[in-house]
Amino acid sequence: MTTFARLPKTSTPLLALLAGTFAFAAPAQAADEKNVHEQLVDTMTVLAKGPYPGYRANHAKGIVLTGTFTPSAEAPSLSKAVHFAKPVPVTVRFSNPTGVPTMPDASPNASPHGIAIRFQLPEGGLTDIVSISFNGFPVATPEDFLSFLNSVAATKPDSPKPTPVEQFLATHPAAMKFVKAPKPAPVSFATLAFYGVNAFQFTNAKGISQYARYQITPLAGVQALSDAEVAKAAPNYLMDELPQRIAKGPVQFRISAQLAGKDDPINDGTMVWPDSRPQVELGILSLDKMSPDSAAAEKTLAFNPLLLTDGIAPSADPVLLSRPIAYSVSVIRRLTGK
């Protein structure tokens, strides 16, 4: 399986994503047949009542910051990745889910939120982390994710009981848990914890490998709005609050790797590992500047969880392997307006 540790300095983020995507290309298909990745983007667009030209099919609304990742002394024990050896610049995008670019930040549909981190490696290399503010994913395969989205799209106000989405949830307990779990509106993006729902294989300089999932915790602590505060929240309160916070000091997160136990599933994002599993602190993410033009940066940035560097390899999780392919469909449509 190919990773992209050192891209040429002339490579753009979009080209980097597309290079990674084509390395994991979908199987050949008939010219008039859409694969599951294209169908996922189609259904997301329908649910968002889009398309919205120039915006992502999912996590359309976001904000971009820059800063530094400083690795911990423990990080090299887990992986020989170069960004675990010395500080590197980072670009980070926080976002709301769905393809609706005007999604109110406190809406129940605006969670789980997303964080995408791009590490700028020496000699022009790049590597990304893409995580959400919920520990676990509703389904284990891209096909089930498409069925889930299609069931939501097929459910109308006058749909007979059980509705299509109720039928799906009744047979998919992880999706039911995902839907029913509380997802309180955060005080700030800086007070949200984020979780990598896919596992990666980390290998250190001694050749010792260990599967782990990312956990990204705010140094400011996890803080949520009260119901009364949610009712009064402005539509863009998260996007407006972050620049004000940054002006007073950096926004910081601790990035850790939760280690898989001997029998923990590594290829199924619906299976959350116990909190008792040990964690290795990888380092501190410190964000101290807003992107000079966040809107322009968002249109050119494209993150890829399979844009990896030596010392980190993907698991065989089908959702993980599918994500960059679906992302590339969204990127191409965003660039071409189709």
Q: List, for residues 151-203, the tens digit of each pLDDT value.
A: 999 999 999 999 999 999 999 999 999 999 999 999 999 999 999 999 999 99
Q: Give the per-residue pLDDT at 299.
A: 78
Grade residue 4 by pLDDT with cuts at 50, 70 and 90: very low
Helix, strand or coil for residue 253? Answer: strand
User: Which residues is 91 bridged to in the sheet?
Assistant: 66, 118
Question: What's the chain's average pLDDT?
Answer: 89
| Residue 147 to residue 165: CA distance in whole angstroms | 9
Predicted local confidence at residue 338, as pLDDT: 63
List, in sequence order, the alpha helices (H) in 81-225: 142-154, 164-170, 173-180
Task: Tell me the domain boundaries of the chain.
Answer: 13-336
Say whether pLDDT at 17 is over 90: no
Burial class of residue 305 in the structure, from the number of CB atoms within 10 Å of its CB (0-12 exposed, 13-18 middle, 19+ buried)? buried
- Give the separation between CA 338 and CA 320, rounded to whole angstroms: 25
Q: What are the beta bridge partners of residue 223? A: none
32 confidence band (pLDDT: 50, 70, 90)? low
249: left (phi over 0), alpha (psi -120 to 50) or beta: left
pLDDT at residue 13 above 50? no
Report the percent of the chain where pLDDT is more than 90: 80
- What's the number of CA atoms in the CB half-sphere (13 Å) around residue 129? 28
pLDDT over 80 (residue 2): no
Two tokens at 123? 């000699």
Which superfamily, per CATH, for 13-336?
Answer: Catalase core domain (2.40.180.10)
Q: Is the pLDDT of residue 208 over 50?
A: yes
Q: In the numeric block, which tokens belong to residue 95?
A: 């976002």
| 318-336 and 36-47 helices, crossing angle to 10° | 60
Q: Which segment of 59-73, 186-200, 256-270, 286-300 scores lowest on mean pLDDT?
A: 286-300
Q: How confident is the model at residue 96 (pLDDT cuts 50, 70, 90)?
A: very high
**Looking at 81-90, 186-195, 288-297, 319-328, which range is the least confident one?**
288-297
Cα–Cα dist 52/34, whole Å: 21
**What's the average model confidence in pLDDT over 10-39?**
49
Q: Which residues contact 203 (CB under 8 A, 6 or more apart)?
A: 79, 80, 209, 210, 311, 312, 313
Task: Kindly tell me the burial class for residue 161, based on how many C-beta atoms sit within 10 Å of its own C-beta (0-12, 13-18, 19 or more).
Answer: exposed
Exposed/middle/buried for 232, CB within 10 Å: 0-12, 13-18, 19+? Answer: exposed
Structure confidence by residue, pLDDT tens digits, 99-157: 999 999 999 999 999 999 999 998 889 999 999 999 999 999 999 999 999 999 999 99
